[in-house]
Structure 1
Amino acid sequence: VDTGRQAPPMAAHHQKGTNSCVTRIPWHRGMTTLHTYTATPKPQNYRSQQKQVREAQIKKIKNRMHTMLATTPSSSGVKLQPWGSCRRRAASPALLPATATGRIIVDSGRMPPSPLPLRAVASESAQTSRAPQPQPPPMDVDEEKMLANYVPVFVMLPLEAITAENKVGDAEGLRAQLRRLREAGVDGIMADVWWGIVEGAGPGRYEWRAYRELFRLAQEEGLKLQVIMSFHACGGNVGDAVNIPIPAWVRDVGEADPDVYYTSPGGARNQEYLTIGVDDRPLFHGRTAIQLYADFMESFRENMADLLECGLIVDIEVGLGPAGELRYPSYPESQGWAFPGIGQFQCYDKYLEEDFRAAATDAGHPEWELPDDAGEYNDAPDDTRFFTADGAGATYLTEKGRFFLTWYSSKLIDHGDRILDEANRVFLGCTVKLAAKVRLALTSAAIKKMLKKRRA
């Protein structure tokens, strides 16, 4: 019996002259439970054994995570896990290592006047649904901590998983690939949902059967889904192995009015994505570009409602521009751009030109025009008057240059805001997460400055 002062919680020390260890663990009402055990020498292959144990723990936790993902509260028939009981079990002295032998010593230094008798703690009652599902075994504290830091892994499907003819390409081969991904511990897949395929037959004619078949394959193999609302064309970018244009009926509008596409200073049209100049122009059978994107997302929700409700689809990435990114198509390889060329501004369609003139007039400068001194695709900054580094002669430092850059970037930000507002409205009430891609560019000077701060 230890009659001295109570040691700090979880204090541990070796008894002098022995290889025994005493560990203090806080108990009720000032009492302290002490566990003593004799240390055993570590084997020579101790590190390798510990590594194997750790790998086994990680594998077990991932399996439990997959079981939990398959029985999330959004799924039907879920039995809630009594985590409180698990924690009490994890804190129990019965979970000491099997090699630990010893005795319990009661500290009588702060015994209560009338110790309360020990009593069993009833396990928490679990709410059971009408169709209970298998539950993962309880986890100890260390496993819960590791699970809290778990990062799900998703693998992007090939771009041609759904063909341009709106069919699943090689369904059995795809199923085998999905099964191998699941066996490798992957949590889910990411798939592009192409506007040009789904609404390709005509305005407002959405065909989702191929995508439902694809999503069912993933569900049957135990994989979750991240889907991309792809409002751009596939082909012409790095890694594009197939050609999937925007809907043919939209391209027909572009044939009659090429200014619905982004346009370079030289007049080259980029058919990968509609210019943000037509966001409010009802040129597409009475609909604006923003309405086209919103209607597509509404149709997706209506036709995938069951897959959204059951938790199969966990993320929706909303396309905002070329390659799905919130940016201008300033460096198209299809028009001859090559790294490290500066690219070109893409605001020379008649709709954006009209918008700029109106903005300049409102600012009191109706004489201002779009830049004509920003160079070609493969120029260096110093090759142009707009970006020259000599300071005083650079157009971007003038009042006109600053006004243009502010207008140019603000139009893009407004475009992204409006589409994401529509996405939030359409998917309101769903448990999915919304995401978007934004391309960031840093100058070498900015990168050096950031690195210097990090070293400091």
Structure 2
Amino acid sequence: MTSVLGMMNPNLINGRNLHKGSSIFVKVEEIKKRGQWRFSIKEKSLRTPQATASSTTEPKATEFSTTTYEDKMLTNYVPVYVMLQLGVITNDNVLENEENLKRQLKKLKQSQVDGVMVDVWWGIVESKGPKQYQWSAYRNLFAIVQSFGLKLQAIMSFHRCGGNIGDDVNIPIPKWVLEIGDSNPDIFYTNKSGNRNKECLSLSVDNLSLFRGRTAVEIYRDYMTSFKENMEDFISSGVIIDIEVGLGPAGELRYPSYSETQGWVFPGIGEFQCYDKYLRSDYEEEVRRIGHPEWKLPENAGEYNNVPEETEFFEYSNGTYLKEDGKFFLSWYSKKLLLHGDQILDEANKVFLGCKLKIAAKVSGIHWWYKTESHAAELTAGYYNLKTRDGYRAIAKMMGRHHAILNFTCLEMRNTEQPAKAKSGPQELVQQVLSSGWREGIEVAGENALPRFDRNGYNQIILNARPNGINQDGKPRMFGFTYLRLSDKLLREPNFSRFKMFLKRMHANQEYCSEPERYNHELFPLERSRNDESLEKFMEETEPVDPIPWLEETDMSIRPFEGVLSLLQSTFLRKKS
């Protein structure tokens, strides 16, 4: 749908022709296709449609006073951040190529981006030994970010860089931790063949004192505490606005079920990762407790690159996943993941309690095999999601109790871009997960899974950021979006002009806003986690619910050649001046 807003004079759209305090008339009319809106702008006041008996009836309008058109549009403003390069801080704990970084940040600031995101690698900061933290390179980096007036999202990256799609550097977890793993490899996730994955620690050791007197959770807590103490000035000054807590491989709340280092290739179903001695013992204890000691961990779920119907476990009509023992295993497997996330987010909440920032955690967009009965790739990753069972609502509820943002990936993907053999459903998956978050009353943010520079990818992101389009209260709206990733390719033309057009659309065609409270993002001191409901209660709420209504396409799309035309216009104006 072509938006009337998008066709209007851009000077009117961005508010430059409006005086602060002036009143505007915006008439919003519902048309036959559900969820789409038509806007017309006149002076006087802002009106909004009321419910009517028939979709063909002209909606009545209720007037209410407002300040400026710009302020109303800002309720639809979605801030955009850009991920810095994975290796911006080297393995030797040195800020890489500082002058080039400054040049890139200057261009980002000129593009009106809101901020940047950076991995704060455990394997770099605590590499010398337990509690021997080295923060100087990151402090230098943060000071540079601050000097350009950019906000900062910091990821507590407790995983290895290398082995995931898009990884172009190798940053292992601390050497002293790997040495402990040499003598006790069961601290790592393990598949049924006994292969260890050293990307991160297994959730099975969260509460085991195997790391020179500390548990894994204590390691994560101490790391975050040291970060807070050493970055207090950046937190108190409002530079650091977001702490994303790493909860697994690639920083995501999941099992490492589809690692390229293990030979996985898209769209393989992946493998369960619960065969270390600690998780095996835990499962054996659980099945004995319920009177089924004969139930074993799955041995019939195939290998990394199988398709579901090649396995007994994921066979669509009569697979193990549908039987009593399979259901128990999947409940146990997903619950262990939920408990892991809950405990670490609780520690993060305690560490940053009272700080004016948000905490967040990432959920992976596992879209392949989504359009099958068994959802095999999601199940091996720990998301117990089926057509008859919602596997994401419990995660949203868990994050809500810690006042955490749910950060979801693959926002740029469309079904038609995926190979038919993968039976992917990225659009439906995004709608399901985002709807779960919004229904639970939590903030939802997002990322693209793979680099994109094209208008189709950008338009899909804009659609998912505001699935009902521009409206008078801005809801539903993503809390923020982080673009993957800063590169010279992004900053080259015509990519950069198209990216700036994308930023403008995410900002609801407004200029960069330096006052987050104007788009309802004012930061308040982080409150203590709630403990009013148990995780067991969360796990029971699995009844599937239809997602909220979604437009078929965004009402603020980037039109063909628009980025190129913008580039030509800016080039002409520069030469003219």
Return the TM-score normalized by structure 2: 0.55
| Equivalent in 228, 232, 245 of residue 301 of structure 1 | 228
Q: Which ranges of 4 or more aligned residues in structure 1 deviate by more than 6 Å?
A: 448-456
| Equivalent in 27, 31, 51 of residue 9 of structure 2 | 51
| Equivalent in 320, 333, 354 of residue 429 of structure 1 | 354
CA distances 1:97-117 after superposition (whole Å, capped 9, x unpaired): xxx9xxxxxxxxxxxxxxxxx
- Any idea what SS the aligned residue of 1:179 has? helix
Determine which structure has greater relative contact order: mean sequence separation of CA pairs < 8 Å that are 6+ residues apart, divided by chain length. Answer: 2
Answering whether residue 121 of structure 2 is matched by residue 194 of structure 1, we say yes
CA distances 1:246-275 after superposition (whole Å, capped 9, x unpaired): 000000000111111000111111000101
Letter in 1 for 2:308: P
| Equivalent in 101, 125, 134 of residue 207 of structure 1 | 134
Letter in 1 for 2:195: A
- Any idea what SS the aligned residue of 2:321 has? helix
What is aligned with 1:148? 75
The 1-side partners of 2:142 and 2:94 are apart by 13
Instruction: Give the CA deviation at 1:48.
Output: 11
- Residues 307-346 of structure 1 aligned to structure 2 (within 5 Å): 307-346=234-273
Distance 1:449 1:287, change over 3 A: closer
Letter in 1 for 2:364: R
The 1-side partners of 2:6 and 2:267 are apart by 48
| Equivalent in 386, 391, 396 of residue 313 of structure 2 | 386
- Please say which of residues 438-447 and 422-431 is displaced more in the overlay: 438-447
Return the TM-score normalized by structure 1: 0.69
The 2-side partners of 1:352 and 1:218 are apart by 42
- Please say which of residues 246-255 and 366-375 is displaced more in the overlay: 366-375
Instruction: Give the CA deviation at 1:175.
Output: 1.0
Distance 1:401 1:171, change over 3 A: same
What is aligned with 2:278? 351
What is aligned with 2:333? 408
The 1-side partners of 2:13 and 2:112 are apart by 13
Instruction: Give the CA deviation at 1:50.
Output: 5.4
What is aligned with 1:374? 301
The 2-side partners of 1:449 and 1:143 are apart by 33
The 2-side partners of 1:436 and 1:336 are apart by 27
Which segments of 5 or more consecutive residues in structure 2 lack a partner in the other structure?
Answer: 25-42, 44-65, 373-386, 388-424, 432-545, 553-577
Aligned length: 337
- Residues 96-135 of structure 1 aligned to structure 2 (within 5 Å): none
Q: Percent identity?
A: 53
The 1-side partners of 2:360 and 2:70 are apart by 30
The 2-side partners of 1:294 and 1:166 are apart by 21
The 2-side partners of 1:299 and 1:354 are apart by 34
Which segments of 5 or more consecutive residues in structure 1 lack a partner in the other structure?
Answer: 1-46, 62-85, 93-99, 101-138
Instruction: Give the CA deviation at 1:147.
Output: 2.5
What is aligned with 2:371? 444
Instruction: Give the CA deviation at 1:90.
Output: 3.0
Instruction: Give the CA deviation at 1:227.
Output: 0.7
Letter in 1 for 2:137: A
Alignment RMSD, CA only?
2.8
The 1-side partners of 2:23 and 2:266 are apart by 59
Q: Indicate conservation of the 8 Å contact 2:151/2:241, yes or no.
A: yes
Q: If you compute each CA radius of gyration, which structure gives the higher value, 1 or 2?
A: 1
- Any idea what SS the aligned residue of 2:291 has? coil
What is aligned with 2:181? 254
- Any idea what SS the aligned residue of 1:372 has? coil
Answering whether residue 162 of structure 2 is matched by residue 235 of structure 1, we say yes
| Equivalent in 99, 106, 109 of residue 179 of structure 1 | 106
| Equivalent in 90, 115, 136 of residue 22 of structure 2 | 90
Letter in 1 for 2:227: F
Instruction: Give the CA deviation at 1:293.
Output: 0.6
Instruction: Give the CA deviation at 1:54.
Output: 2.7
Instruction: Give the CA deviation at 1:52.
Output: 4.2
